[in-house]
Chain A
Amino acid sequence: MTNRPAKLAGLWEMMRADRWRFGYALAFLVVAACLLYLVPLIPQAVIDGVLGDQPERVTDTSRWIIDLMGGREHVAERLWIPLIWITIIAGLAGIATYGRQRWSAIASQNTGKRVRDRLQNHVQRIEMNRFDELDSGDLLQRCTSDVDTTQNFLSMQAVEIGRAVVMFLVPLPIMFATDWRMSIAAIWLIPGILWFSLHYFGRVRSVFREKDEAEGRLTSGVTENLVGIRVVRAFNRQDFEIDRFRGFNDEHRALDDRLYRIFARFWGASDLLCFMQQASVILVGAWLLATDRILVGEFYFFFAAVGMFLWPVRMMGRILSELGKATVAVERLEEILALPIEQDPPDAEISIPTDGRLEIRDLVFSHAEDAPVLRGINLDIAAGETIAIVGPSGGGKSTLVNLLLRFYDRDGGSIRFGGVDIESMPRHALRTRIAAVLQQPFLFSRTIRENIQLAAPTADQAMVETATIEACIHDSIERFDAGYDTKVGERGVTLSGGQRQRVAIAQALLQDPDVLILDDALSAVDTGTEQSILEAIHDRRGRHTTLIIAHRLSTLKEADRIIVLAEGVIAQQGTHQSLRDAPGLYRRLWEIQAAVENDGDDPSKADSGGAP
């Protein structure tokens, strides 16, 4: 709470562009409040100045209103005139209220949209190493419920607070000008009402938290039961589970019931306070009426006015107590927006690579403080060459891909793409020239065709089909009821891991990049299909520089050159032939295959290549 001004400054920053609209809303609010209080002033004037028998005692305001309507005699003959005036003023108040709500909705929704858009655009550009550290559930929560909380604050709470303040302040001058004793009687409990709600909702918060936690336990209890439903059935533990759930259920019920009881006390007590305020107006009013110090119309005005500001003020106490939530939400949004995003060098330095040649020099990289993952890689890949990279997990294969795509930036050394250092290229230009397919490719929830076309929005159906045929997925797609228009991820149609991989490969092939990277992208595809895809890529030889990261020997066969990457360095490199002849990882892989092919009866009985 100490640096609260700073937090609200962040909110103001987001609201700035709509400050005029917020201003209109505020202006309309004041106008509406003034007009709304004019409405009970008319009956006051009529009751005292026209119907009453002491017209000389009426307030200046009443006299002014009567004069406006044509004077006492005139109105007395035509009592429909006040009705017309009330209708007109109520109508005007209605229009002003409409204006207030409309402008505040537009202003707060504009702000909300701006926050949402900015957040979405920011999230997708956060530097990858920072992004990887974030918890995606928490991030999603910030983007959704924290934005909703902020939005709610702007569109409801801020407006309600403003309304309560204005509604309370506007009638004060008229009230005090009329009678100070009545005025005191009308407002003396207000601080108490405010304090009571503020205090109460402040205290209730801990019960709310407890209830949320109980609800969390209830939810995870059900979730765990359903996730483990096979275990439950396997051990025939349904009754045990029902008993256990009753525990969560009962705990939740008890807390929920407690909340209701607390609310019952709050609403009961605060209704009593509010009615006491009204009662004090009536009783003090009755005494002043009886002692001839006020008139009936004045009494009516006070009574009506209290009814108009009492409830907004009571709401305000509640809203003020929830203000903390909004500040926390804004703060959590600010934290996301403060994360650094990927920045490209200024335009002047942009140079465009000429071809798909890659030169990697002394490349070093480590995650934060950890031991280096890459410890000096030197590698030249000619444009159009096909390279296979193999090695144990943790050897640095995927890190190399991340560096090539500039998801991470190297610690030392350099990567040149077509003769240009990739750090002097805009990421956009770099990434449109590289297509990478990952082991678990992500598909968007749109149709299969749209997913593939994301790589080349202008591609027609024929081009898409060429790519899907090469990726061996065309036939599978055609077999879906909706074919290429099948939506991915909707209930009913879910693609298998292998199908996803092949769709992603089709997407990459359609992109027709300078560099094509398959990072274990065939792991869920059966061997036969894998061979057809590799052959299709092989037939495109020369069109792309191709990097294939593989976990099985079968994937490596089509490569011009094979790199063995282990412990952050290139342990071996060469052709299929040369590596097979030298001792090392590649040869051991090859020997497994050979054992199967030569001694196929039961290789496990033979020595399986001398693996340590």
Chain B
Amino acid sequence: MSEHFEENESDFSPRRVDWSLWRRIVGHLRPYPWPVTTMIVCGLILAAVEVLLPLVTAWIIDEAIGPGRASRIGMLGGIYAVMLLIFSLLVWRFITAAGTLATRVAFDLRGTCFARLQSLPFGYFDVRSTGWLVARVTSDVTKVTGLLPWFLLDIGWGAAMLVGIFVAMMLVDLQLGLAVSVIVPPMAIATWWFKRRMLESSRRIRKSNSRITASYTETIAGVRTTRMLAREEASAAEFGEISSEMRLWTIRNAVQSATYLPIVMSLGSIGVGIALWAGGIQFQNQTGLSLGMLIAFMQYAVLFSQPIQELAQRFVDLQSAQAAAERVQELIEETPTIRDSPDVAARISAETAAPTPGLAPDGGGKTIHTVTFESVGHAYVAEERVLDDVSFELSRGTSIALVGATGSGKTTIAGLLARWYEPSEGRILVDGVDYRQRGLDWWQSQFGVVQQVPHLFSGTIRDNVRYGRLDADDEAILGALRRVRAAEFVIQLEGGLDFEVGEGGCHLSQGQRQLISLARAFLADPQIFIMDEATSSVDAETEATIQTAVDEILRDRIAVVIAHRLSTIRRADLILVLDQGKVIERGSHGELMAAKGRYRTLYLDQFVNEEEARLLG
């Protein structure tokens, strides 16, 4: 659970706006020129309307108090009403366009990220938690794409608004316009000064907030430990410090905004005062400035603060979404390290264009007769070798059992065989050819894998078994279930094949899940079978059923079993005993027992374990 609350430290560290990153992010808008144009055009027209409204108001006032006495008020009222209508329609239009843009770009980015995840090698997943990766595809994408359209809009709108107000004022009265504009520089400076500080304090708030969540998680998960150590009071005190920190930064942030907003508002009011002063003098001197225009200038003074605040806010948003943008972009730009070499890819496309009957899609033989490990060594991280000089040969119809303690290299051998990783030393040969000379897709389609903890997807039993062969009909699915002795229990379930297995298969027992995953593997009809046996015990009857199913599946294939159960180990044609990445013993069960080496000790320990588990489990 804790992984969902992992802190993303990079979210909390101060940073500058990285323009090259944002240019690449904005690049994702390229397929949508129409909504982008709509946004910008809407922004410009909105600004124009907002700049013009005070002028129209001024004309209405002057018309009402002028000598004509309201003869044209009807017309001006009409103009005003039309402008309002245009304004509302534009608001409606640009939010719709923003929605189109935000949701489509989010759709694209999610799809790209997801597809990328499907092609990245396992090494990528080994060092990143699932929760962390899920957040890339979900919340990070939302964060970045939610911001983009508003950024576009406000860049257009804000700039146009500032320029528009200036131009309108200058055109009406240069001197008065300049006088009112005096408030802009202090407004901009105050905005810049405060927004930077508020960005920092809000970052601290988010950091405290995530510490609070982590602390609650710990309080809940460690409740027994806390009580056993009788440290409820100490832990309450520690929590109090974290919540105080949260309070401190939240108040600090509120005080910053409590200082900033009144300053901006007061500057606006001072602008009104300046307009009244300078405009009043002009009015007194009868230079031609009307009362209506005087009021328009007073409105402009108030309007100035809007675009300044909005523009500043967008830059703040940009900075706070930057970490998310970086992570999304990084994922999109990640290239898979395991893929077909250029000449293999060329062969595949040639073969796809003109398939040779009887050959695999990569132009090689369809049937696998032998697989050979030739002095294979591997290190996931440089300098940390987990497998060293492992050689063996597998041929069709035989099985090999890998035995050894956790971390001895068993899983690595399986991963290398399936080409989830590629060996750092030595070669793996398929009928004498390095497997890197074969198509990755083809090779990985030849595998059936049953894991220690079988993973089922939420959905029906039918969905799960059919995962092995997507075009299988119910007949074939039932056939597979029957072959692994799972048909009986499936038929008894409510809905039979339509039974919903629940998330991760939670509506089924461990043994049932194992059988379903075996049926799935059976349906796929793989040439090579890898089985990672469960360490946890199931009851004797299920164990026997599973064993029969496994025997059924392994027939006529190449089988690699990461073995825990004695019954499986004894049946293997070849047993490799691994220790710290090296093969220390090899042979059949009989030979190895007779040798009285490490295998015998492991075997006897396991024997005692199984028996004790049977008595005490």
- Distance in angstroms from A40 CB to nearest chain B CB is 8
Q: Which of A224-232, A317-325, A459-467, A571-579 contacts B (4 or more CB under 8 A)?
A: A224-232
A390 touching B277, Cβ below 8 Å: no
User: What would be 23 A-B contacts, judged by CB atoms less than 8 Å apart?
Assistant: A76-B284, A101-B257, A101-B261, A102-B251, A102-B258, A109-B251, A117-B236, A117-B243, A120-B239, A222-B114, A228-B455, A229-B122, A231-B457, A233-B444, A238-B115, A263-B95, A272-B87, A427-B230, A434-B228, A441-B225, A553-B608, A592-B607, A600-B604
A105 touching B255, Cβ below 8 Å: yes
Decide if A339 is an interface residue (CB 8 Å cutoff). Answer: no
Within 8 A of B (CB), among A94-124: 94-95, 97-98, 100-102, 104-106, 109-110, 112-113, 116-117, 120-121, 123-124
Decide if B175 is an interface residue (CB 8 Å cutoff). Answer: no
Instruction: Please pick, from B69, B258, B530, B609, the residue contacting A105 in the complex, using a CB distance under 8 A.
Output: B258
Instruction: Please pick, from B138, B236, B266, B608, the residue contacting A121 in the complex, using a CB distance under 8 A.
Output: B236
Instruction: Please pick, from B115, B292, B609, the residue contacting A552 in the complex, using a CB distance under 8 A.
Output: B609
Instruction: Please pick, from B218, B261, B294, B615, the residue contacting A611 in the complex, using a CB distance under 8 A.
Output: B615
Instruction: Kindly state the separation between the CA atoms of A224 and B467 in the bound complex, as whole angstroms.
Output: 14
Residues of A within 8 A of B269 (CB): 39, 86-87, 89-90, 93
Known A124-B219, A136-B1, A282-B60; contact A101-B258, beta-carbon cutoff 8 A: yes
Within 8 A of B (CB), among A21-56: 39-40, 42-43, 46-47, 50-52
1/0 per position for B128-167, CB-CB distance to A under 8 A?
0111011001100000000000000000000000000000
Decide if B254 is an interface residue (CB 8 Å cutoff). Answer: yes
Instruction: Please pick, from B134, B220, B239, B250, the residue contacting A219 in the complex, using a CB distance under 8 A.
Output: B134
A269 touching B88, Cβ below 8 Å: yes
Known A229-B125, A240-B470, A442-B225; contact A527-B605, beta-carbon cutoff 8 A: yes
B281 touching A79, Cβ below 8 Å: yes
- 11 further A-B contacts with Cβ under 8 Å, apart from A121-B239, A588-B615, are A47-B291, A80-B277, A83-B273, A87-B266, A102-B251, A272-B85, A275-B84, A283-B73, A392-B617, A427-B227, A592-B607
Q: Which of B208-216, B309-317, B322-330, B430-438 contacts A (4 or more CB under 8 A)?
A: B208-216
Of all chain B residues, the one with the shortest Cβ separation from A255 is B103
Count contacts between A and B, CB distance < 8 Å: 417
1/0 per position for A273-290, CB-CB distance to B under 8 A?
001100100110111011
Instruction: Kindly state the separation between the CA atoms of A609 and B247 in the bound complex, as whole angstroms.
Output: 66
- Distance in angstroms from A433 CB to nearest chain B CB is 9
Instruction: Kindly state the separation between the CA atoms of A76 and B283 in the bound complex, as whole angstroms.
Output: 11
Residues of B within 8 A of A282 (CB): 57, 60, 77, 80
A392 touching B615, Cβ below 8 Å: yes
A98 touching B262, Cβ below 8 Å: yes
Decide if A476 is an interface residue (CB 8 Å cutoff). Answer: no
Residues of A within 8 A of B611 (CB): 592, 608-609, 611
**Most chain-A Cβ atoms within 10 A of its Cβ — which of B1, B64, B239, B259?**
B64
Instruction: Kindly state the separation between the CA atoms of A113 and B66 in the bound complex, as whole angstroms.
Output: 61
Known A229-B125, A232-B118; contact A296-B92, beta-carbon cutoff 8 A: no
1/0 per position for B65-96, CB-CB distance to A under 8 A?
10001100100110011001101110111111
1/0 per position for A511-525, CB-CB distance to B under 8 A?
100000000000000
Residues of B within 8 A of A125 (CB): 232
Of all chain A residues, the one with the shortest Cβ separation from B57 is A282
Residues of A within 8 A of B70 (CB): 286-287, 290
Residues of B within 8 A of A109 (CB): 246-247, 250-251, 254
- Distance in angstroms from A287 CB to nearest chain B CB is 7
Residues of B within 8 A of A241 (CB): 114, 118
Known A227-B504, A455-B229; contact A260-B270, beta-carbon cutoff 8 A: no
Instruction: Kindly state the separation between the CA atoms of A589 and B246 in the bound complex, as whole angstroms.
Output: 56
Decide if B420 is an interface residue (CB 8 Å cutoff). Answer: yes
Q: Which of B445-453, B556-564, B571-579 contacts A (4 or more CB under 8 A)?
A: B445-453
Instruction: Kindly state the separation between the CA atoms of A301 and B250 in the bound complex, as whole angstroms.
Output: 36
A50 touching B280, Cβ below 8 Å: yes
Residues of A within 8 A of B64 (CB): 285-287, 289-290
Of all chain A residues, the one with the shortest Cβ separation from B442 is A236
A226 touching B230, Cβ below 8 Å: no
Instruction: Please pick, from A87, A264, A289, A427, the residue contacting B65 in the complex, using a CB distance under 8 A.
Output: A289
Residues of A within 8 A of B530 (CB): 234
Residues of A within 8 A of B397 (CB): none
Of all chain A residues, the one with the shortest Cβ separation from B131 is A223
Decide if B479 is an interface residue (CB 8 Å cutoff). Answer: no
Instruction: Please pick, from B103, B133, B276, the residue contacting A257 in the complex, using a CB distance under 8 A.
Output: B103
Instruction: Kindly state the separation between the CA atoms of A256 and B244 in the bound complex, as whole angstroms.
Output: 37
Within 8 A of B (CB), among A242-256: 242, 245-246, 249-250, 252-253, 256
Residues of B within 8 A of A46 (CB): 276, 280
Within 8 A of B (CB), among A340-373: 342
A431 touching B227, Cβ below 8 Å: yes
Residues of B within 8 A of A250 (CB): 107
Decide if B591 is an interface residue (CB 8 Å cutoff). Answer: no
Residues of B within 8 A of A489 (CB): 2
Instruction: Kindly state the separation between the CA atoms of A121 and B503 in the bound complex, as whole angstroms.
Output: 34
A120 touching B219, Cβ below 8 Å: yes
Decide if B263 is an interface residue (CB 8 Å cutoff). Answer: yes
1/0 per position for B192-230, CB-CB distance to A under 8 A?
000000000000000001001111111111111111111
Decide if B375 is an interface residue (CB 8 Å cutoff). Answer: no
Residues of A within 8 A of B236 (CB): 117, 120-121, 124
Decide if B18 is an interface residue (CB 8 Å cutoff). Answer: no
Of all chain A residues, the one with the shortest Cβ separation from B136 is A222
- Distance in angstroms from A454 CB to nearest chain B CB is 5
Decide if B441 is an interface residue (CB 8 Å cutoff). Answer: yes
8 tightest CB-CB pairs across the interface, nearest first? A260-B99, A268-B92, A94-B262, A105-B254, A101-B258, A264-B95, A90-B269, A234-B449
B251 touching A256, Cβ below 8 Å: no
Known A83-B273, A109-B251; contact A253-B104, beta-carbon cutoff 8 A: yes
Instruction: Kindly state the separation between the CA atoms of A268 and B468 in the bound complex, as whole angstroms.
Output: 52
Decide if B51 is an interface residue (CB 8 Å cutoff). Answer: no
Known A264-B91, A592-B611; contact A224-B457, beta-carbon cutoff 8 A: yes
Of all chain B residues, the one with the shortest Cβ separation from A342 is B227
Within 8 A of A (CB), among B42-77: 57, 60-61, 63-65, 69-70, 73, 76-77
Decide if B486 is an interface residue (CB 8 Å cutoff). Answer: no
Of all chain B residues, the one with the shortest Cβ separation from A451 is B225
B73 touching A249, Cβ below 8 Å: no
Of all chain B residues, the one with the shortest Cβ separation from A96 is B262
Residues of B within 8 A of A438 (CB): 224
B262 touching A303, Cβ below 8 Å: no
- Distance in angstroms from B600 CB to nearest chain A CB is 7
Known A83-B276, A245-B111, A601-B593; contact A286-B99, beta-carbon cutoff 8 A: no
Residues of B within 8 A of A233 (CB): 122, 418, 420, 444
Known A224-B458, A249-B110, A264-B92; contact A407-B224, beta-carbon cutoff 8 A: yes
A124 touching B91, Cβ below 8 Å: no
Residues of A within 8 A of B503 (CB): 220, 224
**Most chain-A Cβ atoms within 10 A of its Cβ — which of B6, B235, B273, B503?**
B273
Decide if B308 is an interface residue (CB 8 Å cutoff). Answer: no
- Distance in angstroms from A227 CB to nearest chain B CB is 6
Instruction: Please pick, from B2, B95, B276, B614, the residue contacting A82 in the complex, using a CB distance under 8 A.
Output: B276
- Distance in angstroms from A72 CB to nearest chain B CB is 12
